[in-house]
């Protein structure tokens, strides 16, 4: 595999080896002699289902093992013996998700060595890290001991699992880099929003310094734009650009209105052609306004964008509070960075739920950590797919040739049902033969995003 971003490109084989190393650390809950299957086999088997985007993948491989004496779970992922689905759930229930987090760091470090992470740098050469919480299971009927519960006004109770899914984003890019998650703990006993913030604070405490050292700005919705969380970010050495709504920041907007009447709020107007019509972006910004009504309030910088069509109709409006210095030279970039927060909704959470990852599907609740561990493996599979998109020429070429990611994995699912491939390269080469691909042929890879 060539290394389009540098000589230290990470390969699929590298990651599979690291999967083995990590899964070998799983603590075994069994105390008797019934150890026919290893914990490593259980972890790799579960991961293979999510990587191949095929809930029936293991069933097909068990059949192939019976008929051909070998199978793709073995050759592609190194599974020695495939456990039954119930055995996998039973073995993995006691494994904490944090045991898998080093794999996210391993992939991140590989992307960093190859220069990929630097292509995500934006305003002031900073990385943009978006935080958001999302449900990965919700039901009014099914539930387990690890579910969070919420009683609605009509008296009905809903049960859910919720997770914070941090990602690196970049304005103008359709790629996100998934980072280690943080799960909302039902035993916290708080309301939904409090739980999301508490989980984000736990993530910040364990991970904040790691990303602060890289020069990172945190993005988030209005829920995060409150003084305790903002101060926690600054203590860790992180900057922030957060959605700032009038209803939840009355004091700040009173200051903005007063300063506006005195001509202190500055304005920048830009008109652009969308390809169909002219639109006008009006940027307003001001420095050093209080985030709350108190003498010791945190002072932030505020900016707003309003987009209008030629007839004056408002097409978009949003505002942000930021710790970054703001002026005419960078207000457009800061707003673009703030708007990139939506990529955690679109390119991450929506992709996980609607593009084959089945993130909201109940693969198993368990009695301890099963549900959160399986969700972590899904996030890891998505990260590995992104790695392949960025660093595997053959995978990238197949993505260009085929109309969608779903089609690619549908083809892989069909092929691995009937044929056993020696390794990942063998599978990709087989698929590329139909496109008359020759090793060494140039790949029409999209240009690297510009830095800064």
Write out pLDDT tens, residues 204-257.
999 999 999 999 999 999 999 999 999 999 999 999 999 999 999 999 999 999
With a CB cutoff of 8 Å and minimum separation 6, the contacts of 155 are none
∠ CA(146), CA(77), CA(28), 5° rounding?
45
**Residues of the chain below pLDDT 70:** 1-8, 34, 138-147, 149, 158-159, 186-194, 436-452
Residue 31 lies in a domain: yes
H or E element at residue 316: strand 314-322
CATH number for position 201? 3.90.350.10
Backbone angles phi, psi at 154, to 5 degrees: -80, 5
87 and 156 assigned to the same domain: no
243's enclosing H/E stretch is: strand 239-243
State the Cα angle at 352 between 174 and 376, rounded to 5°: 115
Q: Looking at residue 154, what is its pLDDT?
A: 81
Whether residues 74 and 223 fall in one domain: no
Computed from CA positions of residues 219, 220, 225, 231, in that sequence, does the dihedral angle turn out positive or negative? negative
What is the per-residue pLDDT for 152?
Answer: 72
Residue 5, pLDDT score: 40
Q: What is the pLDDT of residues 344-359, one digit of tens each?
A: 999 999 999 988 898 8
77 with 207, same domain? no
Taking CA atoms, 84 is separated from 56, 59, 61, 87, 160, in Å, by 12, 9, 12, 5, 26
* 270 three-class SS: strand
Integer CA distances (angstroms), 366 to 32, 47, 105, in order: 21, 17, 27
Looking at the structure, tell me whether residues 89 and 133 fall in a common domain: no
Same domain, residue pair 189 and 146: yes
Q: Is 442 helix (H, G, I), strand (E, B) or coil?
A: coil
Domain count, the chain: 2
Tokens standing for residue 215: 């020069």
304: left (phi over 0), alpha (psi -120 to 50) or beta: beta
Strands 157-164 and 133-139: antiparallel
Considering the domain architecture, whether residues 312 and 237 belong to the same structural domain is answered as yes
* Residue 107 belongs to some domain of the structure: no
Same structural domain for residues 169 and 213?
A: yes
Domain hosting 389: range is 12-98+364-433
Same domain, 58 and 120: no
Q: Are residues 91 and 121 in the same domain?
A: no
Q: Is residue 169 part of a domain?
A: yes
Task: Determine the pLDDT at residue 144.
Answer: 67
Q: Does any domain span residue 369?
A: yes
Check whether residue 289 and residue 223 sit in a common domain.
yes
CA atoms within 13 A on the CB side of 42: 26
Provide the H-helix boundaries in 236-294: 250-261
């Amino acid at each position: 595999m060539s290394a389009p971003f540098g000589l230290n490109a990470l390969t699929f084989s590298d990651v599979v080896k690291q999967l083995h190393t990590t899964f070998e650390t799983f603590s075994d809950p069994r105390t008797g002699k019934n150890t026919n299957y290893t914990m490593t086999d259980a972890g790799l088997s579960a991961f293979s289902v999510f990587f191949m985007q095929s809930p029936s993948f293991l069933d097909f491989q068990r059949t192939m093992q019976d008929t051909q004496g070998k199978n793709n779970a073995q050759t592609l992922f190194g599974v020695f013996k495939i456990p039954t689905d119930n055995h996998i759930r039973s073995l993995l229930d006691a494994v904490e998700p944090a045991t898998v987090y080093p794999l996210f760091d391993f992939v991140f470090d590989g992307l960093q060595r190859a220069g990929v992470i630097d292509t995500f740098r934006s305003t002031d050469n900073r990385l943009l890290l978006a935080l958001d919480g999302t449900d990965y299971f919700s039901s009014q009927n099914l539930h387990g001991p690890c579910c969070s519960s919420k009683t609605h006004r009509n008296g009905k109770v809903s049960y859910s699992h919720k997770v914070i899914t941090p990602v690196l984003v970049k304005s103008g890019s359709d790629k996100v880099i998934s980072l280690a998650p943080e799960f909302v703990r039902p035993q916290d006993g708080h309301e939904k929003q409090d739980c999301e913030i508490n989980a984000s604070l736990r993530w910040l405490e364990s991970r904040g310094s790691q990303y602060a050292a890289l020069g990172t700005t945190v993005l988030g919705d209005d829920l995060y734009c409150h003084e305790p969380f903002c101060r926690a970010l600054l203590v860790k050495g992180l900057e922030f650009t957060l959605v700032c709504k009038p209803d939840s920041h009355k004091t700040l907007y009173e200051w903005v209105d007063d300063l506006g009447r005195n001509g202190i709020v500055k304005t920048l107007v830009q008109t652009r052609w969308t390809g169909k019509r002219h639109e006008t972006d009006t940027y307003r910004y001001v420095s050093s306004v209080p985030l709350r009504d108190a003498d010791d309030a945190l002072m932030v910088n505020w900016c707003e964008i309003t987009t209008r069509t030629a007839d004056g109709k408002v097409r978009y409006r949003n505002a942000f509070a930021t710790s970054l210095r703001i002026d005419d030279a960078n207000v457009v970039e800061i707003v673009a960075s703030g708007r990139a927060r939506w990529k955690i909704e679109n390119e991450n959470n929506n992709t996980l739920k609607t593009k084959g990852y089945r993130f909201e599907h109940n693969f198993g609740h368990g009695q301890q950590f099963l549900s959160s561990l399986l969700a972590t493996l899904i996030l890891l599979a998505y990260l590995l797919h992104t790695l392949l998109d960025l660093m595997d020429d053959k995978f990238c070429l197949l993505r260009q040739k085929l109309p969608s990611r779903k089609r690619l994995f549908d083809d892989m699912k069909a092929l691995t049902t009937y044929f056993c491939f020696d390794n990942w390269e063998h599978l990709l080469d087989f698929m590329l033969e139909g496109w008359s691909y020759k090793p060494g042929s140039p790949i029409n890879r999209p240009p690297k995003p510009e830095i800064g």
